[in-house]
Structure 1
Amino acid sequence: MLTDLEALDEAAELTAPICIFGAGAAGITLALELAKKKIDCLLLEGGGLEFQADSQKIYDGEVIGDQHTDLAYSRLRQFGGTTGHWTGLCAPLDPIDFEKRKAIPHSGWPITRADLDPFYARAQPYLQLGPFAYGTDDWAGKLEGEPLPLDPAKVGNAVYQNSPPTRFAASYMAPIEASKTIRCYYHANLTDLDIDAADKITGAELKTFHGKTVRVKADHFVIACGGIENARLLLNFTKDRPAGIGNQNGLVGRYYMDHLNCTLGSFVPADPQLSLDFYATQEVKNAEGEASVYVGLKLPADVLRTERLRNNTAFLAPIWEDETFNDDFRDHSWVAFSSIAKAMADGQVPDQLSSRLCTILDDPGSVATGITRHVMRKVHSHGGIVRVDFKQDAEQAPNPDSRVTLYEEKDRFGMQRAALDWKISEADLLSLRRTHELIGIAMGEAGLGRVKLGLGLPPSDQDIYTGYHHIGTTRMHEDPRQGVVNSHCRVHATKNLYMAGSSVFTTCGTANPTLTITALAVRLAAHLDDVYHHRMPKDEA
């Protein structure tokens, strides 16, 4: 069922065993998984079914830390959430990402990669990915080209898969509308939670943009509104908990992480005709199914431990003699143009059309260059390779001083807006620099060429940008003094409130987060099924 909350009577009350706030990748996956288990749920989305400026404005806020990020542009407050404009690159976190490591302060998840593997496999179809196969051995003999002849003990290959990308609104609106167990309401803005003396959430308040108030009663509540919004909501719920719900130890909003999105470091091949076909996006098929595969370079786990480094995958971007084949025009303007063009080609109205047009007008030259080059590539030859750039979303360590807080300005519902203080440490940058050094040593030993480091000493963060990945603000840890949620994603300070999405990540690894977000949602559904059917001891819930 799919209903506009505006259609309900003032002071109506909604009830269900489980209530989910947020209809993005996490919330929609969770609702669909509960439907498979025949558990009734409410799925509540603050925005509309499509982009609406009044809803999007709720995401406005202040950036008070590193300025190479933003609060509103990167998120979509509508049904389907930010999957409305994600790019689709996917990989699971590595086993080492879950470990407690000396190189990563505040690291160590309370679960392992093996614990999450079954749920990763079940998450793949939600993102229209191929089989859960992320090793080069899984695709042996299927990929075109040959991997670079690097010592595998020093530099390995990392396999990613490309989602189409899946737009959750387009893919899952119809199944949710037809569902007999999911009642989805949009324009349902969460404005308060009630919590009793026994730390149980007893109800929630919803408001519409036209002033209606609706109450919610449920046995269990899940907030799945994104890495920034999850923290903002908890910090705003001060009626019964002056510091905010779940914030008894001052941890809500802390340990904010993003990936260090940058094109830094490069190598000049000894042979300008070096084949890099193995590292280009390929549509391949093995015995388990088909996938769009993209391979990069990664240091093995043993090297990360020995060298005390953060994780990173370096994708290879060749720069050709004929600049027609170079992709240096792919800036924010080109991404905005590409999003508009793809939506129109699919017969859809582009989301955030006005803001994206403004982005294009800020730098129309890159769009003109990109269009021209795509046309000219049909008649030009790319020639030899001048250099190969390293493109990456590098890991940064969790830092309690990197955080989401509130400031005095309020949104239309009277809730304080978010302020983001994203901090990049010198240690994060030095780790990336050393990663490139080690890749360079291995390439030199293999006679492939010479690597030029993109970070100097001391390293500068001027070329480090947001990956648009908002991670870690309600982190998972079994100790309430070190995390907001437990291993089942339940808020420590409550009996029945759960968090879903990348806000629960303890560390961020280097993999794009959407696959892990979806896997954790599948896992949370399994846990709530156990709780619902009383298969879980109360002290473990």
Structure 2
Amino acid sequence: MLADLETLEDNTTLRAPVCIVGAGAAGITMALEFARAGVEAILLEGGGLEFTDESQAIYEGEVTGQGHTDIAFSRLRQFGGTTGHWTGLCAPLAPIDFEKREGVPHSGWPITRADLDPFYERAQPYLQLGPYAYAPADWDGLLTGAPWALDSAVVEPAVYQSSPPTRFAETYLQAITDAPTIRCLYHANLKNLELSDGGAVTRAQVVGYSGKTVFIEAERFVLACGGIENARLLLNFDSQRAGGIGNENDLVGRYFMDHMNCTLSELAPADRQGDIAYYLTHQTDTVPVHIGLKLTEDLMRREGLLDNTVFLDPVWESESHNDDFRDHAWLAFSAIARAFSRGQVPDQFWARTCTIAEAPGAVVTGVYRNIRRRFEPAGTVTTIRFRQDAEQAPNPDSRVTLNGELDPLGMRRATLDWQLTKADLLSLRRTHELIGQAVGAAGIGRVRLGIDIPPLFDAIYTGYHHIGTTRMHDDPRQGVVDADCRVHSVQNLYMAGSSVFTTGGTANPTLTIVALAIRLADHLAGEISGAA
């Protein structure tokens, strides 16, 4: 069932075994998993079925620290969440990402990659991906070109798949509407969680934009609102617990991570006619596949390095075939153009228009080159740039806090202070250096390092991946939730999404978000069935 909260009577109380707050990738996945298990669930979405300025304004806030990031434009507050504009690149986190690593402070999940593998496999169909196959050998004979003959003890291929990308609003709205065990309310904004003396959530206060109030009583509550909003909500709920719910050890909002989106270092090929097709995009029968380069896990452990996958961006002799114009202004323009081509009104139209206005040159260049490349051959490769979403180490000083400004619902707004360290960039530099040594030894070419000593942060941008603000750890002094994603200090409150990640790895987070959502749904469904 699907309904607008505004259609309900004021002060209505709804009841279900479980209440999920947030209808993005995590929340929708959990609701559908509960439906398959026959468990009744209430799913709340603060936005509407489509983008509105009224809902999106709730996400506005302040940005401090590393400046090349964003707190509102990067997120969508509507049914389907930010899957409305994600790009679709997917891979599971690597086994090493779950380990406690020397040289990576605050690392170490309470679960392993093997624990998550069965849920990764179940997550693949949700994102319209191919088989759960991320080893290079899984794709033997299906990819064009050949891998470079690099030292396998140093460098190995990394496999990524591309979702269409799946827009959860378009793909799963009907399934949510038709499921008899799901009650989905939109325009339903969580205002407060009330706690019993025994330390359990007894009910949620939910409000509409008109001021209408609805109460939800459930045995278990799940916040699935994203890395920034999960923390903002917990910090706001401080009427019964000073500092907010789950924040007894001042951890809520800390350890905010993003991926360092950057194109740094480049390879000058020894043979400009050499074959690089293996490291470009492959259109297979099931799913687009991308191959990158990364250091082996043994080498990362020995060197104490963060995780990174290098994707190779060739620079062609003909300038028209080069994509170095693809900055945030171009991405904003592309989103507007795609929406108009489908006969739709673009979401965040004015925000994207302002982004374009700040750097119109990229859009002019991009349009010009895309026209020219239809008539001009690419020519040879002059150089190959290293592009990546590199891992940063967990950092307690990188955080989401509250500021004094109130949103239209009376909730304090968020301040995002994204902090990177020189060690983060020096780890990336060392990774490029080791890849360069392997490439040089194989006679492929020479790598020119693009990270200075001391490193500068000017070329580091956001990956729009909000990670780690309610991190998972067995010790409540080091994490907000336990291995089952339950808030340590609350009996029946759980967190879903990338806010529970202990480290970020180098894989885009959506596949792991969905896998963890399936795992949490299984856990809660099992508890509910066992108690019945």
TM-score, normalization by structure 1: 0.97
Partner SS state of residue 232, structure 2? helix
State the distance in 1 between where 2:174 and 2:453 align.
Answer: 54
How many angstroms does 1:275 deviate by? 1.6
State the distance in 1 between where 2:131 and 2:531 align.
Answer: 31
What is the aligned partner in structure 2 of residue 344 from structure 1?
340
Is the aligned partner of 1:489 residue 2:485?
yes
State the distance in 1 between where 2:150 and 2:180 align.
Answer: 55
Letter in 2 for 1:62: E
Partner SS state of residue 313, structure 1? coil
Partner SS state of residue 35, structure 1? helix
Identity %: 62
Is the aligned partner of 1:252 residue 2:252?
yes
CA displacement 1:334-381 (0-9 Å, x = unmatched): 101111222233343321112112222222222222122122212211
How many angstroms does 1:412 deviate by? 1.2
Q: How does 1:3-82 map to 2 (within 5 A)?
A: 3-82=3-82
What is the aligned partner in structure 2 of residue 165 from structure 1?
165
State the distance in 2 between where 1:79 and 1:322 align.
Answer: 43
Is the aligned partner of 1:431 residue 2:427?
yes
State the distance in 2 between where 1:80 and 1:479 align.
Answer: 33
State the distance in 2 between where 1:61 and 1:427 align.
Answer: 28
Partner SS state of residue 198, structure 1? coil
What is the aligned partner in structure 2 of residue 519 from structure 1?
515
State the distance in 2 between where 1:274 and 1:446 align.
Answer: 13
How many angstroms does 1:535 deviate by? 7.2
Aligned with 2:362 (options 361, 366, 373): 366
State the distance in 1 between where 2:247 and 2:526 align.
Answer: 27
What is the aligned partner in structure 2 of residue 132 from structure 1?
132
Letter in 2 for 1:69: T
What is the aligned partner in structure 1 of residue 118 from structure 2?
118
Aligned with 2:327 (options 301, 325, 331): 331
How many angstroms does 1:504 deviate by? 0.1
What is the aligned partner in structure 1 of residue 208 from structure 2?
208
CA displacement 1:12-43 (0-9 Å, x = unmatched): 11111100000000000000010000101000
- CA RMSD of superposed structures (Å): 1.1
State the distance in 2 between where 1:413 and 1:150 align.
Answer: 57
Which structure 2 segments of 5+ residues have no match? none
How many angstroms does 1:309 deviate by? 0.3
Partner SS state of residue 310, structure 2? strand
Q: Mark the CA change 1:442 to 1:418 in structure 2 (over 3 Å): closer, same or farther.
A: same
State the distance in 2 between where 1:491 and 1:261 align.
Answer: 31
Letter in 2 for 1:529: A
State the distance in 2 between where 1:243 and 1:383 align.
Answer: 60
Which structure 1 residue ranges, 4+ long, deviate > 3 Å from structure 2?
none
State the distance in 1 between where 2:453 and 2:531 align.
Answer: 56
Letter in 2 for 1:225: C
Which structure 1 segments of 5+ residues have no match? 537-541
State the distance in 2 between where 1:523 and 1:341 align.
Answer: 37
What is the aligned partner in structure 2 of residue 194 from structure 1?
194
Is the aligned partner of 1:467 residue 2:463?
yes
Letter in 1 for 2:356: I
How many angstroms does 1:520 deviate by? 0.2
Letter in 2 for 1:446: A
What is the aligned partner in structure 2 of residue 146 from structure 1?
146
Aligned with 1:476 (options 465, 472, 475): 472
Partner SS state of residue 454, structure 1? coil
How many angstroms does 1:296 deviate by? 0.4
Aligned with 2:438 (options 439, 442, 459): 442
What is the aligned partner in structure 2 of residue 529 from structure 1?
525
Partner SS state of residue 287, structure 2? strand
Aligned with 1:507 (options 503, 506, 522): 503
What is the aligned partner in structure 2 of residue 451 from structure 1?
447
Partner SS state of residue 473, structure 1? coil
Is 24-33 or 273-282 further displaced after alignment? 273-282
State the distance in 1 between where 2:365 and 2:423 align.
Answer: 37
State the distance in 2 between where 1:478 and 1:36 align.
Answer: 30
Partner SS state of residue 183, structure 1? strand
**Across the two proteins, how many residue pairs are aligned to each other?**
532
What is the aligned partner in structure 2 of residue 265 from structure 1?
265
State the distance in 2 between where 1:454 and 1:500 align.
Answer: 37
Letter in 1 for 2:256: Y
Partner SS state of residue 64, structure 1? strand
State the distance in 1 between where 2:256 and 2:61 align.
Answer: 16
